[in-house]
A and B are shown apart, each in its own frame.
Chain A
């Protein structure tokens, strides 16, 4: 008994409603690209926002969509950063985009290998294992100072022009366009991914892994896949940092970086892809403002922000974004509801 085609059409619309481009999204990206021309004086901070947003996006993929709490996501960030810096310094791969891809693959490999560590165990074990991996990498980077430059960082890195044409400059003009383009492309891929059947399966795994396996979903396979992809994204973000600053130091693996990243994602809200980007914008501007006031005690304000956010409630904090989202959703639903009422 096949259902009437109108019902199928409506169901299809409902299912793909998540994936439809919202006007606000389009405005967001137009504004981001317009900033290339409109705010040349702020390109340096915008560059930082771009790779930080990508880094936060990668955390969103595992935290917001798969429910894995990681205290060591900086492991992949740092791995990508050092790979890119070393490739540039030793002139193994001179073209930045190619080096970027290779760094991403390197980080993805690391992600794949370590993904098996986070499959089992409670939240606490995962936390510790991810933290442990980042600490191990940091120790290794410290130990092999002849390769990594140790505590002083990797000196003497020079990055060639992007695609052989666009030279990196002191003001971040090339940097911002480069980072933003990379971010946008990877964002499109991530957006496709989370709105696919794979993404829906991920949400189900996050929501109820027992039920997921009871409908035939291999929970482990999904987690390994998303963890690997997220590691790749984080590695590319790190590579962008290394390439735009021509520097890499031990600090890319630090716990502070992983902890800051959690705050960035939480400010914007996890689970809808834009949280990391919005959080990066807010975080960077706040950091800019507050470190001018109290350069040394900036961690105090981060800590306070975390405490307040948790006490007030994460959903209430990000609720300032939901009226916008809800309003937009209601516009969509109302037209769909009208059409379905006509069908019935």
Chain B
């Protein structure tokens, strides 16, 4: 039982790293980016190529996956996304769905449609026993890395000038602009960073979540759940929501395997109807 809880926590933290970029994008520019999963997929495939084909050590490939995804995110943001910010939500939805379809088909073409696996070094494979609980080494690694990232994110947001500018811009971008904060630049950087995190999450998660070209579509709903249930006004909201979702999904699939994701979807609908602003967000002026 505790092992399952542990697995759920690992899954939840992974989801958080994957989805927090989306939360910030949504909170910052009110932009619905359904293509967020595509950046995660990019990171995953970069790691696969680096580790499996080029023999790069696994831990070293993680920062590279981050940088590549961040780079792609930055380029896409400056060239494509920037034209769509002012458009309606419908346009944003159509646009990002279009990007997802293109990326899914492109990756299918280049990498093939089968699921790919990362050759995780044997040091991280297997389990060990701690206090009578079976702890997967790889999942422990995920928890550690994601935990560190979360702490770092919270630190950046709370204690740096960039962080306070970002928080101001999320709260009220018009006022922030009026204060001289370069919101466009903040957004470009944040988008790139969020995409990078997604890529890192994809690289870490390839082994547990299963990586194939349809990854962005399969996990789109999970990212959206994290963001809408957790709200976009803080980091803790999506964090808690990710944990809940991760634990809930793992526990659900273990104890009630026949119902599959049905439970998650139903709970999501119930939560959204009951509290449309999310479970954990404070009421904002918007």
Direct contact of A and B (CB under 8 A): yes
A119: nearest chain-B partner, CB-CB: B273
In whole angstroms, how far apart are the Cα atoms of A120 and B265 in the complex? 18
In whole angstroms, how far apart are the Cα atoms of A247 and B21 in the complex? 42
Dominant secondary structure at the B interface: helix
B266 at the binding interface (Cβ < 8 Å): yes
A306 at the binding interface (Cβ < 8 Å): yes
A329 at the binding interface (Cβ < 8 Å): no
Contact of A143 among B26, B91, B258, B266 (CB under 8 A): B258
In whole angstroms, how far apart are the Cα atoms of A268 and B86 in the complex? 23
- Output the least CB separation between A186 and chain B (Å): 24
Contact with B along A260-298 (1 / 0, CB 8 A): 001100100000000000000000000000000000111
Task: Name A's B-contacting residues (CB within 8 A).
Answer: 63, 69, 71, 116-117, 120-125, 127-129, 131-133, 135-136, 139-140, 142-143, 255, 259, 262-263, 266, 296-300, 302-311, 314
- Output the least CB separation between A314 and chain B (Å): 7
Q: Check B97 against A299 for contact (C-beta < 8 Å).
A: no
Which of B47-55, B102-110, B161-169, B181-189 is the contact stretch? B102-110
Contacts of A310 in B (CB 8 A): 84, 87, 91, 94-95, 98
Question: How many residues from B make CB contacts under 8 Å with A?
Answer: 41
The total of Cβ contacts below 8 Å across the A-B interface reads 127
Contact of A121 among B97, B268, B276 (CB under 8 A): B276
In whole angstroms, how far apart are the Cα atoms of A307 and B108 in the complex? 19
If the complex has contacts A124-B228, A262-B97, are A297 and B90 also in contact, measured as CB distance less than 8 A?
Answer: no
Contact with A along B100-144 (1 / 0, CB 8 A): 111111101100000000000000000000000000000000000
Q: Check A304 against B102 for contact (C-beta < 8 Å).
A: yes
Which of B10-18, B191-199, B217-225 is the contact stretch? B217-225
Dominant secondary structure at the A interface: helix
Closest 3 CB pairs of A and B: A306-B98, A303-B101, A300-B105
B89 at the binding interface (Cβ < 8 Å): yes
Contacts of A298 in B (CB 8 A): 105
Q: Check A131 against B221 for contact (C-beta < 8 Å).
A: yes
Task: Name B's A-contacting residues (CB within 8 A).
Answer: 26, 32, 80, 83-84, 87, 89-91, 93-95, 97-106, 108-109, 217, 221, 224-225, 228, 258-262, 265-266, 268-269, 272-273, 276
Q: Check A311 against B108 for contact (C-beta < 8 Å).
A: no
B104: nearest chain-A partner, CB-CB: A299
If the complex has contacts A125-B276, A303-B97, are A132 and B269 also in contact, measured as CB distance less than 8 A?
Answer: yes
In whole angstroms, how far apart are the Cα atoms of A306 and B98 in the complex? 5
Q: Check A136 against B266 for contact (C-beta < 8 Å).
A: yes
In whole angstroms, how far apart are the Cα atoms of A69 and B90 in the complex? 7
